[in-house]
A and B are shown apart, each in its own frame.
Chain A
Amino acid sequence: MNYNWNWGIFFQLSPDGTYTYLQLLLFGAGWTLATALLAWVIALSVGAVVGVIRTSPIPWLVRLGNAYVELFRNIPLLVQMFLWYFVLPELMPEAIGDWLKQSANASFYNAVICLGLYTSARVAEQVKAGILSLRSGQRMAGLAMGLTLPQTYRYVLLPMAFRIILPPLSSEFLNIIKNSSVALTIGLIELTAAARSMAEFSFQVFEAFTGATVIYIIINIIVVNGMRWLERRVSVPGFISMGQPAAAH
C-alpha cells in the first residue's frame, strides 16, 4: 500500500486555526451524543404511549397506533430526514416556514425530532411486545382489585414490561447513536461528519475514519456496560433470570 500514514495528524491544528483535529472529532462526538440523548427522550416517551395504546381495548386507538408504527418504520430514515428538513418548512404557512429554515441549529433540532419519532416506532413495537408477554391474569388481577385501566398499566403492567424489554431497548439506544450519523446529510457536524471533514482537509483519510471508529467503539462499550448495570439494578428477584436464558417451557 502506497499510503502515507501519519498518526500525528490528530494533534495538528485544523484549518480553523484554534482547535486540533482530535478536538474537532471530540466536538463531533459531543453533537452525536447530544442528538442521540435528546432524541432518545422523545423516542422513549412517544414510544411508550404508542406501545400502550396498541395494547388498549379501544379498536380505533389500536389502529391509529399500528398506522403510526407502519408509517415510521417503512420510510428510510434518510428520506424522513429530508422530509423534516426540506419539505416540512415549505408546507407550513410562510412565516413559520421561514422561521424554521432560519433558526440557528435548525439541522440539530430537525435531527433530534426526526430521529426521536423514527426510533419511537421501534420502541413502541418493543413496549407492545413487552406488555403482551405478560400473563393476561396480571391485567385481570389489577382490574379485579379495583384499579382503573390506566392505573393497571401504571402500577402493574408497565413496571414489569419495561424490565422485560430492557435488552432490546438498549440495542435501540445503540442504534439511535449510530443512526444520528444520518444527520450529516442535513448539515449536522456530528462524529462521522467531523471525520469526513477531517479527511477532506488533512488528506489523512484512514486516520480520520479510524479515529471516529475508535470513538464509536468506546461509546458502544460504555453504553453496553451501563445497560448491563441497569438491568442488574432493576431486576426483580425470581421474575427474570439475569444473565442466563429463560428455561424452556
Chain B
Amino acid sequence: MFSNIDWNVIIRSLPYLFFDGMRFTIMLTLMATAGGIVIGTLLAMARLSNIPGLSHVAGAYVNLIRSMPLVLVIFWFYFLVPYIGQWITGASRPIQVGAFLSALVTFTLFEAAYFCEIMRAGIQSIPRGQVQAAQALGMSYWTSMREIILPQAFRNMLPVLLTQTIILFQDTSLVYVISVTDFLGAASKIAQRDGRLVEMYLFAAIVYFVISLAASYAVRRLQQRIAIIR
C-alpha cells in the first residue's frame, strides 16, 4: 500500500512549505493572539463594567461571534473588510485588502470573543476585596486594573490563554477556504500540482501534531510551575 509513495516530494518542497507556508501560519497565530488578547481584555472589562449598555453591547458581540462557525466568520470578513477599509479611509470604492490583512482582522476579532471569556473569568477570580482596597487607596479604575487586577488575572489565566493559542494555531488552517497560502495551503498546492495528496497531507498532519503536542506539554509544565509557586 505504500508502494508508489514518493517521499522526495516533501524534501523538495520543504523550503516552500516552511518559509512561505509555516511563516504565514506562525505570524498569523502570534499577531492574532496579541491582538485578540488586547481586544478580548477590553471586551471583558466592558462586559463587567457598570456603564449602562456597554456590557450588553460587548456581551452581544461575544455571543454573536461564539454562535457562528469560524468558516462563516472568515467568509464574512473576507467580503466585509474591503468595505470597512473604504469606510475608514473614505475611499469611493471598497479597497483592495491583502490576504494576510484580511485573515489577521478575521482571527483577531474572532479570537477576541474567546479571549474575552477567558479574561472575564480571570478578572472575576480576583477577590472583590482587592478592588475595594485599590479604591480605598484612591486609585482610579484604570490604575487599579493596570496595577492590581490585570497582572494577576493574566497570571491565573496564562495556561488557558496559551491553550487557546494552540487551538488558534490549528484553526488558522481554515484560511484554506479563502485560498490563502498558509502551511496547509502550501501543502495542498503542492499536493495538487504534483498529484501527491497522500504524502503532503500526511506530512502536514505530522507537522501540526508535533508542534501542537510539544506546545501543550510546555503549557502543562508551565501550569505545574505556576501551581508550585502559589
Enumerate chain A interface residues (CB-CB to B < 8 A). 1-3, 70-71, 73-80, 82-83, 86-87, 90-93, 174, 177-182, 184-185, 192, 195-196, 199, 205-206, 209, 212-213, 216-217, 220
Q: A87-B198, A91-B198, A185-B177 are in contact. Are A178 and B68 (CB under 8 A)?
A: yes
Majority secondary structure, A binding face: helix
Enumerate chain B interface residues (CB-CB to A < 8 A). 1-2, 64, 67-72, 75-76, 79-80, 83, 86-87, 93-94, 170-171, 173-174, 176-177, 184, 188, 197-198, 201-202, 204-205, 208-209, 212-213, 216
Instruction: Give 26 A-B contacts (CB < 8 Å), ordered by A residue.
Output: A74-B208, A74-B212, A74-B216, A76-B173, A77-B170, A80-B205, A82-B188, A82-B201, A83-B202, A86-B198, A87-B201, A87-B202, A90-B197, A90-B198, A91-B1, A91-B2, A91-B198, A180-B69, A181-B72, A182-B71, A184-B71, A185-B176, A192-B69, A199-B75, A216-B69, A220-B67
B216 to A, closest residue via Cβ: A74
Q: List residues of chain A with CB within 8 A of the CB of B171.
A: 76
Q: List residues of chain A with CB within 8 A of the CB of B80.
A: 206
Contact of B197 among A2, A87, A92, A205 (CB under 8 A): A87
Q: Is the CB of B174 within 8 A of A79?
A: no
A208 to B, closest residue via Cβ: B75
Q: Is the CB of A196 within 8 A of B201?
A: no
Q: Is the CB of B87 within 8 A of A1?
A: yes
Q: Is the CB of A195 within 8 A of B209?
A: no
Q: List residues of chain A with CB within 8 A of the CB of B1.
A: 91-93
Q: Is the CB of A209 within 8 A of B209?
A: no
The smallest C-beta distance from A201 to any residue of chain B, in angstroms, reads 15
Q: A3-B83, A220-B67 are in contact. Are A83 and B177 (CB under 8 A)?
A: no
A72 to B, closest residue via Cβ: B209
Q: List residues of chain A with CB within 8 A of the CB of B70.
A: 178, 181
Q: List residues of chain A with CB within 8 A of the CB of B93.
A: 2
Q: List residues of chain A with CB within 8 A of the CB of B94.
A: 2
B199 to A, closest residue via Cβ: A87
Q: List residues of chain B with CB within 8 A of the CB of A79.
A: 173, 184, 201, 204-205, 208
Q: List residues of chain B with CB within 8 A of the CB of A209.
A: 72, 75-76, 79
Q: Is the CB of A70 within 8 A of B177?
A: no
Q: Is the CB of B83 within 8 A of A1?
A: yes
Q: List residues of chain A with CB within 8 A of the CB of B204.
A: 79, 82
Per the bound structure, the CA–CA distance linking A245 and B171 in Å amounts to 31
Q: Is the CB of B205 within 8 A of A75?
A: yes
Contacts A75-B209, A76-B170, A76-B173 given; 6 further ones with Cβ under 8 A?
A: A3-B83, A76-B174, A83-B205, A178-B67, A184-B71, A184-B177
Q: List residues of chain B with CB within 8 A of the CB of A3.
A: 83
Per the bound structure, the CA–CA distance linking A195 and B216 in Å amounts to 35
Of the candidates A181, A196, A216, A220, the one having the most CB atoms from chain B within 10 angstroms of its own CB is A181
Per the bound structure, the CA–CA distance linking A205 and B213 in Å amounts to 39
Q: Is the CB of B83 within 8 A of A196?
A: no
Q: List residues of chain B with CB within 8 A of the CB of A74.
A: 170, 208-209, 212-213, 216
A78 to B, closest residue via Cβ: B173
